[in-house]
Structure 1
Amino acid sequence: MRPAKAGIIRRLQTPRSALPSPITSGDPLTEPLSARPPATPLRPSACPGLLRIVPALDGGICRIKLAGGVISADQAFAVADAAQRFAGGVIEATNRGNLQIRGIGADHDALIATLLDAGLGPKNPASDDVRNLMLSPTAGLDPQQLFDARPLAAQILHSLETHPRFHELSPKFALSLDAGEGLVMLEHPHDLWLSAMDVDGETLLGFGLAGCPANDPPLAAVTLDSGLDLVVAMLELFLEHARPEQTRMRHLLEDMPVTRFLELLSERLTTSLRTGKEITSWRRSPIRTNAHIGAYPQALSGLTCVGGVVPLGRLTPSMLRKAAVLSVELGDGALAMTPWQSLILRNVATARSADALDGLRAAGLLCDADQALSQMIACTGSAACGKGLADTKSDALQLAAYLQREGVSQMIHLSGCTRSCAAAHVAPVTLLAVSAGHYDLYFHHADRPGFGELRGRDLTIEAVGALLTTDSRSNTDD
């Protein structure tokens, strides 16, 4: 890709008047950015960013990382305009609550400038890749939360953007912050995860490495006011000990025992790590399945979140604009993108929630969990990816239509190759393409590696549909 030009970099250093994000900046940890040159990442990657447009069969890809997954209505209009003017009009909702534009033509600079003018870029060009912190789409509003995660998230994001060493992290290095919300992604693996826990009436932050709170107990915990210090110490420790080829926490832990990592971490912190049985035996409560679809109550009486699934993760500019208009008319003027490839209108008056759902449906979103397509995940596939062995999105539409006629709706992931780009964790059912229109069928099994238990080889979509329908009815009869 072409490096960003001087004019684009100047835009990043110029104050913007864009609408403020619900996540605001914290205090700087280091000297002003203007006092030092931009850092050069030591772990380069082919992952797209806002400033790094990478090629694909259908054109360039630009990934827009959203603080807390939130985008204002004005910013959503800017993304829709950029996709329509400079690309093929395809906007994707990612599985980490971000957006990306596909099919970008030759004018990379104009597209980037449009997004920067909307306030969607990083504070420093070197930090674009590392803004990987996942929150609940209902952070600060959720009736089950133990604390409002947004202030701490703002401090962590500010540190990721302004701490010069953190720009060396891989674009895939990811963090999550779970404040106990009832609507939060718990299953995606992260290099560092933080999860709120109540211990004898005190709210603590449990944490784990190279895993997720859905499957793993915390290694230790700290008080809430030590959360930022913990993250900074963890990341510095990783960068000091990981070799350049060790881009993820799991790579470092192959060489360094977790016990040793915790010993080194304790030496860096001014507070003690809590490691008692009440910490290490704690388990995160699961969330309600499909809570991101339809109406979801907020902590404040009379207000509701309303969500709809983006069909197969793809938005048109028109769909995004209509959702943004709804956010202004019925919500708080912003959209919360979710790791389930859906979007949520927040702060909707409960009395208007039916209107919001009708509006999202009219925009083309899926607002009912019994719609088979609302449970489908599919990667780009052979239509736009050189590694794809099948046209996964077209096949997903065919499979969804079949299952809808049979009254079956279940979580299914179609992957064009073994990389599993569309799903960050193993789905209950995975179809792995082996050739055009043909898939191996896997059912998730806790004791089986990879996608799980192989249940069928080289199946057509019709054969997959028949097998899933039979299995679903058999399970129901049980």
Structure 2
Amino acid sequence: MKEPIRPSACPGLLRIVQALDGGICRIKLAGGELSAEQARAVAHAAEHFAGGVIEATNRANLQIRGITGSHPAMLEGLLAAGLGPRSSGGDDVRNLMLSPSAGIDPHMQFDTRPLAEQILHSLQHRERLHELSAKFAVLLDGGEALAMHEHAHDLWLAPLLLDGETWLGFGLAGCPGTALAAVPLQQGHALAIAVLERFLDLASPEQTRMRHVLGTVSAEDFIAPLAVTLRLGPFAINKAGTDRLGTYPQRQAGKVFVGAAPPLGRLGPPMLRDLARLAEQHGDGTLRLTPWQSVIVPNVDTQCAPRLTAALDALGLLCSAAEPLAHLVACTGSDGCKKGLADTKADARLLATLLPHPQAVHLSGCPRSCAAAHVAPATLLATSAGHYDLYLRDAGQPGFGALRARNLDLHAASDLLARLPTEQHR
């Protein structure tokens, strides 16, 4: 097999990467969607070929941890379930994020799923696009209220209403906010491919992300030769907001979607099988993973939502934003990662019992920030077992933000976090 131009150490479906607790297989879900049968295939793989740990990721994917020995049978089962292509190049570049409520959100301005299918097909089947880095990422937003607007993407697209028609505003190397330019909605696929190919025309093998290229070429010069109908911005992107936990009405009459979160993004095979069963009993037999390491069950009859919520709660999922643990994010930590300086998962569970109110905190075992693709309001960066430096988000500071205190144990950290201004609790 031809060596990739931009080799990656990131796990994939066909690239098992070793960690302290065994191999990791990352399953990139198309639009974050997982059928009940696919969920059972993932549960089977985790149970029979690995340590039984399944993680929801911050890119709305799943990964299996603790894989031991050879794994052809595991991969064949996942491929047979339709969980990815048989080429590693096609799998690596399937980094297209949608809203978890695509197609069902009452606030959406258009259904992103048909366009997403076109883009994903091109990513999988155009060999030149396999030259992209496995980290290169695209966001397609449809104006949904349930949307992640904090993850920086190499290319993002979001709807704009111009002269009474829906256009796609887009930006490079950032988050939806102000669009650089816009194209008619029907040119969305052509724009995405043109941007990706323009990146490959300009990028050296060492330049894996859009921000690297924009360090040498202005955004205006980057888009100037694109063979699409461009309407130059800037255009402000409107943002709505919905929590990812709880029950919310759908665009379809009489239907709701219900959101819940496995604690700290981890779920075992029995929980995933039970989720699949509940999706079949109460919804349309599908689950949607979210970039908040949670899951939603779509297309639920309104009157069934209370029973479904009770069943999700009985499985051990977090169903309410009032749960302190629902606001904490933690990487694998020293329990499964050689670079981790603290057992962040266990520490997060303890911290949840110490904080007097729900608070958004990211616990990271090392500076790589694997568990959070955006800067959290507060970050605890491990210095040793049970001890952390505290950083607070600050737009004027790089990385995690401004250093507030050093080498805190969890009791001292919780005391300090409790005294922060209210706006930093979110």
- Residue number in structure 1 paired with 2:198: 237
CA–CA distance in 1 between the matches of 2:424 and 2:62?
36
> In the alignment, does 2:314 pair up with 1:362?
yes
Q: 1:97-145: CA deviations, max 9, x gaps? A: 0000000010311211111121112154431100000001110111001
Q: How does 1:271-420 map to 2 (within 5 A)?
A: 271-275=228-232, 279-288=233-242, 291-403=243-355, 406=356, 408-420=357-369
2:225 corresponds, among 264, 280, 292, to: 264
> d(CA) in 2 for partners of 1:205 and 1:474?
32
- Deviation per CA, 1:310-369, whole angstroms, max 9, x where unpaired? 211101111111111000000010100000000000000011111111111111110010
* Cα drift, residue 475 of structure 1: 8.3
Q: Which residue of 2 aligns with 1:470?
A: 419
Asked if 1:149 corresponds to 2:105, the answer is: no
Give the TM-score normalised by structure 2.
0.97
Contact 1:79 1:115 in 2 (8 A): yes
Amino acid at match of 1:75: Q
Conserved? CA contact 2:169–2:235, under 8 Å: no
**Structure-2 separation of matches of 1:364 and 1:46:** 33
1:307 alignment partner, SS class: strand
Out of 442, 447, 466, the position equivalent to 2:391 is 442
Match of 1:34 in 2: none
CA–CA distance in 1 between the matches of 2:3 and 2:102? 33
In structure 2, C-alpha distance between the alignment counterparts of 1:205 and 1:310, rounded to whole Å = 34
Query: 2: distance between equivalents of 1:211 and 1:123?
Result: 31
- Following superposition, the deviation at residue 469 of structure 1 comes to 1.9
Deviation track 1:174-220 (CA, whole Å, cap 9, x = no partner) reads 0000010011111100000001111232111000000010xx41110
Q: Do 2:245 and 2:259's aligned partners in 1 also have CA atoms closer than 8 Å?
A: yes
TM-score between both structures, scaled by the size of structure 1: 0.87
**Count of aligned positions:** 425
Question: Shift of the alpha carbon at 1:447?
Answer: 2.3
One-letter code aligned to 1:259 = E
CA distance in 1, matches of 2:142, 2:422: 37
Match of 2:379 in 1: 430
Residue 229 of structure 2 aligns with an amino acid whose one-letter code is S
Asked if 1 retains the 8 angstrom alpha-carbon contact of 2:15 and 2:88, the reply is no
Between structures 1 and 2, the one with greater strand share: 2
Task: Give the aligned CA root-mean-square deviation in angstroms.
Answer: 1.5
Q: Which residue of 2 aligns with 1:29?
A: none
- Secondary structure of the residue that 1:45 maps to in structure 2? coil
Distance of 2:421 and 2:273 partners within structure 1: 37
Unaligned runs of 5+ in 1: 1-37
Percent sequence identity over aligned pairs: 58
CA contact (8 A) 2:167 2:183 kept: yes
- State the shift of 1:160 in Å: 0.2
Partner of 1:49: 12
- Is 1:228 the counterpart of 2:189? The answer is yes
